[in-house]
Structure formats: structure tokens, C-alpha cells
């Protein structure tokens, strides 16, 4: 194998139809945020994920921030989440002055372990933020039941909300239901390495009209009406009713997202085919005990945003083996990556929350060997051959 160009772990796929859609938006009367194409994108995504409302925002992180604010997270509140995620899943709790509490993950799926969540509940718990790790939905029914039980125990009448960080799982299903229809608020990412892209962008899906209204205000400076609505009504007057942000998604980006959404099923099918190829090609390494493959569960459809394996060292030093394999594969121009450094390992979190190492041993042990192999729709079968060959040589 002699690759001349790096094969990244993920990459967008833009075609002529996408370019034409953006060009048409450029020629339209509205290119800014909260425009008519954005409204079309919101309706299309809501229909796709089975939600009553979808609110387009400037990034998945913006969506998490607004979801945390809409949930009322503030000083004195706690929100339980996983440490095995990108920091944004916990950062959104801190933005409003609340405290993230980390619960351990299941050893097979690496998603939040409901029993560990239950053990972390306190009277201050105001939300649970589940992460669909790599594209596999978390145990959403169990987590919702925990939230409902915690809500019933609160003496102030406040609900403990389930927020689903579904940045990895657009198009996934859980027990026959689409991700986006299962939590109080579900946040999707439209970053270029995700299932569809708007360049940068995100969407929050919800069935709760009150939450949807607050999300729309918060993304638009806290203003109670939108410019397009006022123009259509021939009105100029507006009121800022709370402190909000400029988290709007432009119509240029929405045009790209609409075009991409039409290809989502094709993209998902290709990701599934690539995952199956990896499973077949890596079976020898798995049975030999060199690697552990990502889990599948029969009651949910995996969206395969990532293909995270775990390398297994005979001497138990998985981190050292992972470091050698990482370096060897990059030398072969295979852009493997690590998802994720446990959130509370980061210097900021150590300063802010103290040393939490050892508090989530399953997540920490998994991190030692995690290595994400490239997976994205534009990959060829030959690319899979190159990845597997480089991994075999490295091990």
C-alpha cells in the first residue's frame, strides 16, 4: 500500500446539486438567517425525525447551549452526562452556570449507563444529557423513565428534562422510532464530518411548543418576533424579552442542508455497508484478541458517524499500543483519530471541578484503546482495504 493523500476519519461529500442549490440561494432575495429556505429545512428535518418542531441554529454546540438554557439550567442546577464525548456536551451546562455531573458508560455501547445515571441523581438534578456515541442511540426509554422518576421527586414542580446529543445519529432509530422523536430536546450537528452538512450548523428537534418558542427566541437575541415575519406583516416594532444570542443559520447554509438531506438515505446506506466491510475484514483480528469492534444492538439502527475500535494489548498497556498503532497508520496516510479524551481529563475541567480521574472507570478504560477508523460515504472499497492492511501491519 502506498497512499499519496491522507484518508481522513471523516469528510463531507458535496456534489453539483449542492453547489446549484447554494447558487440559487445566492440569487434569491434572502441570504441571511431565519429565511424562507431555513424554514423549509426546519420543516423537512422535523418530518424526517418525527418531531413537531425543528429549530435550525449555527452549530451543534449552539443547539446544545440553547437546549440547556431552554431547560432552565442555571446556578445550583446539575445535569448528568457522559465523559466519553466532545466537550460541548458538558460545556453547554457550564454556559448557564450549572454543574455537569459525569456518569459512567456501558462497556459495550459506550453510551450512558442508566444505572450509573440513577446513582448520580440528586435533588439538584435538572437534566440528563445523553450522547449517541458513534451513531448508536443511547438507552433512551430507560433514561426518560429515570427523568420522569426524578421529576416526581422534585418538590418545586420542575421537570427533569432528557436532552439527547444526537450529533452522531441523524437517521438512526431506537426501537423502531427515529432519533429526534424520543427526548424532550434532540440536538443534531450539521458539521462537515456528520451525516449531512450545512458547512457549520445544527438543529434542535422537540415536540414541546413552549420549548420550541424559547429556542427560537434565544437563537435570535431573545427577540419575540423574527424579521421575516415583521416584513410580511408590514410591521417594524419588536421587543427583546430575554437575553439571547445570534445563533441563526443563514439561508445559504440551509440551501446546502436541504440538498444534502435528499441524499441522507444514500449516505446512511453507504456508511452501513462500510461498517459491514470492516466487521468482515477485521474478524480475524477480533478473534485473535487484538481489537474489540463497536457494538450493534438489535433494537436500534446505528448511523455509523464513527467506526471506533479498541486495540487490546497483551500486556494490558492499551494506551501505549494505541499510540504506536496511531503513529504507524498515519505514516501510511490513514487518518485515524481518537474519540474521545474523557471530558474531565481536560485542564479546564480539572481546574473547575477538581480531579475526577477514576470516577468513571469504564469510560476511562475504553479511552485507553479507542481508535476511530475512517468512515464516510465517499470512501471506496479500496480505501477500506488500505485501512485494514495498515491496521494489520501496525498490530
Domain co-membership, 199 together with 106? yes
Residue 362 falls in which region: left (phi positive, over 0), alpha (psi -120 to 50) or beta: alpha
Query: Of 238, 261, 284, at which residue does a domain stop?
Result: 261
Looking at the fold, whether 101 and 198 belong to one and the same domain comes out as yes
Q: Examine the domain organization and report whether 78 and 211 are in the same domain.
A: yes
What pLDDT, on the 0 to 100 scale, is given for residue 227? 74
Does a structural domain hold residue 11?
Answer: no
End residue of a domain, out of 261, 288, 312 = 261
> CB neighbours (10 Å) of residue 1?
13
How far apart are the C-alpha atoms of 118 and 142, rounded to whole Å? 10
Residue 10 lies in a domain: no
Residue 237 sits in the same domain as residue 287: no
Taking 70 as the threshold, does the pLDDT of residue 191 lie above it?
A: yes
Task: Let me know whether 56 and 153 are in one domain.
Answer: yes
Q: What per-residue confidence (pLDDT) applies to 235?
A: 83
Give all strands of the β-sheet with 291-292 in edge-to-edge order: 291-292, 307-311, 370-373
Residue 9 lies in a domain: no
Q: What is the CATH number of the domain that holds 186?
A: 3.40.640.10
Same domain, 20 and 125: yes
Q: Which of 393, 387, 389, 200 is nearest to 307 (CA)?
A: 387
Mean pLDDT of 343-357: 98
Residue 128 lies in a domain: yes
For residue 1, is it within any domain?
Answer: no
Cell for 181? Answer: 422523536
Do the domain assignments include residue 389?
yes
At 34 the pLDDT is 86
Asked if 164 contacts 182 with a C-beta cutoff of 8 angstroms, the reply is: yes
The fraction of the chain above a pLDDT of 70, given in percent, is 99
The pLDDT of 170-185, averaged and rounded, is: 98
Statement to judge: residues 298 and 317 lie in one domain = yes
341-369 mean pLDDT: 98
Q: Are 69 and 114 members of one domain?
A: yes
* H/E stretch holding 164: strand 161-165
Q: Which domain holds residue 209?
A: 16-261
Q: Is pLDDT above 90 for 224?
A: no
pLDDT of residue 279: 98
Are 43 and 115 found together in one domain? yes
- Find all residues with CB under 8 Å of 393, minimum gap 6, and list them: 328, 332
Least confident of 98-102, 223-227, 275-279, 365-369: 223-227
Q: Which of 65, 194, 214, 339 is catalytic?
A: 194
Q: Identify any residues that bridge with 223 across adjacent strands, giving them in sequence order.
A: 240
Q: Taking Cα atoms as reference points, which of 249, 142, 144 lies closest to residue 186?
A: 144
* Mean pLDDT over each residue of the chain, to the nearest integer: 96
Residue 359 has pLDDT above 90, yes or no: yes
| Model confidence pLDDT, tens digit, residues 266-322 | 999 999 999 999 999 999 999 999 999 999 999 999 999 999 999 999 999 999 999
| 263 counts as catalytic | no
From the number of C-beta atoms within 10 Å of its C-beta (0-12, 13-18, 19+), residue 177 rates as: middle
In terms of domains, do 126 and 257 share one?
Answer: yes
Bridge partners of 78, per DSSP, are 99, 125
Instruction: Specify the pLDDT at position 137.
Output: 98
Is residue 224 included in any domain, yes or no? yes
Both 228 and 278 in one domain: the answer is: no
**Structure confidence by residue, pLDDT tens digits, 306-345:** 999 999 999 999 999 999 999 999 999 999 999 999 999 9
The pLDDT assigned to 373 comes to 98
List the beta bridge partners of residue 99: 78
Asked if 269 and 389 sit in the same domain, the reply is yes
CATH at 371:
3.90.1150.10
Number of domains forming the structure of the chain: 2
pLDDT of 1 reads 64
In whole angstroms, give the CA distance from residue 352 to residue 364. 19
Share of residues in the chain with pLDDT > 90 (%): 94
At residue 311, the 3 state secondary structure works out as: strand
In a domain, 303, yes or no: yes
Of 91-100, 227-236, 375-384, where does mean pLDDT reach its minimum?
Answer: 227-236
Sequence-distant (6+) residues with CB within 8 A of 392 are 285
pLDDT at 234 (0 to 100): 78
Residue at which a domain ends, from 261, 276, 302: 261
Amino acid at each position: 500500500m502506498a497512499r499519496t493523500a491522507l484518508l481522513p476519519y471523516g469528510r463531507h461529500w458535496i456534489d453539483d446539486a449542492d453547489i446549484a442549490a447554494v447558487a440559487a440561494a445566492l440569487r434569491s432575495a434572502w441570504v441571511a438567517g431565519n429565511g424562507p429556505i431555513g424554514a423549509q429545512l426546519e420543516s423537512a428535518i422535523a418530518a424526517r425525525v418525527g418531531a413537531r418542531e425543528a429549530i435550525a441554529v449555527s452549530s451543534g454546540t449552539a443547539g446544545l447551549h440553547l437546549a440547556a438554557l431552554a431547560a432552565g439550567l442555571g446556578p445550583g442546577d446539575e445535569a448528568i452526562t457522559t465523559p466519553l464525548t466532545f466537550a460541548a456536551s458538558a460545556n453547554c451546562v457550564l454556559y448557564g452556570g450549572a454543574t455537569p455531573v459525569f456518569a459512567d458508560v456501558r462497556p459495550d455501547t459506550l453510551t450512558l449507563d442508566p444505572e450509573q445515571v440513577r446513582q448520580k441523581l440528586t435533588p439538584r438534578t435538572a437534566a440528563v444529557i445523553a450522547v449517541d456515541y458513534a451513531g448508536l442511540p443511547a438507552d433512551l426509554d430507560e433514561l426518560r423513565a429515570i427523568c420522569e422518576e426524578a421529576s416526581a421527586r422534585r418538590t418545586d414542580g420542575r421537570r427533569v428534562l432528557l436532552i439527547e446529543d444526537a450529533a452522531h445519529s441523524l437517521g438512526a432509530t431506537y426501537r423502531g422510532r427515529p432519533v429526534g422523536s424520543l427526548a424532550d430536546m434532540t440536538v443534531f450537528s450539521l458539521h462537515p464530518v456528520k451525516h449531512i452538512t450545512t458547512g457549520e450548523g445544527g438543529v434542535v428537534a422537540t415536540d414541546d411548543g413552549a420549548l420550541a418558542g424559547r429556542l427560537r427566541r434565544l437563537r435570535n437575541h431573545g427577540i419575540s418576533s423574527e424579521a421575516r415575519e415583521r416584513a410580511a406583516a408590514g410591521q417594524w416594532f419588536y421587543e427583546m424579552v430575554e437575553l439571547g444570542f445570534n445563533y441563526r443559520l443563514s439561508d445559504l447554509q440551509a440551501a446546502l442542508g436541504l440538498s444534502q438531506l435528499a441524499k441522507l438515505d444514500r449516505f446512511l446506506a453507504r456508511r452501513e455497508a462500510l461498517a459491514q466491510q470492516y466487521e468482515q475484514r477485521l474478524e480475524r483480528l477480533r478473534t485473535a484478541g487484538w481489537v474489540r469492534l463497536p457494538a450493534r444492538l438489535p433494537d436500534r439502527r446505528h448511523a455509523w458517524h464513527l467506526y471506533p475500535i479498541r486495540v487490546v494489548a497483551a500486556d494490558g498497556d492499551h494506551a501505549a499500543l494505541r499510540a504506536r498503532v496511531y503513529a504507524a497508520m498515519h505514516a501510511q496516510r490513514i487518518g485515524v483519530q481518537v474519540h474521545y479524551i474523557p471530558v474531565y481529563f481536560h485542564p479546564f475541567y480539572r481546574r473547575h471541578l477538581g480531579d475526577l480521574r477514576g470516577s468513571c472507570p469504564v469510560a476511562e478504560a475504553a479511552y485507553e484503546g479507542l481508535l476511530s477508523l475512517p468512515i464516510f460515504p465517499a470512501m471506496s472499497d479500496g480505501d477500506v482495504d488500505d485501512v485494514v492492511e495498515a491496521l494489520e501491519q501496525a498490530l
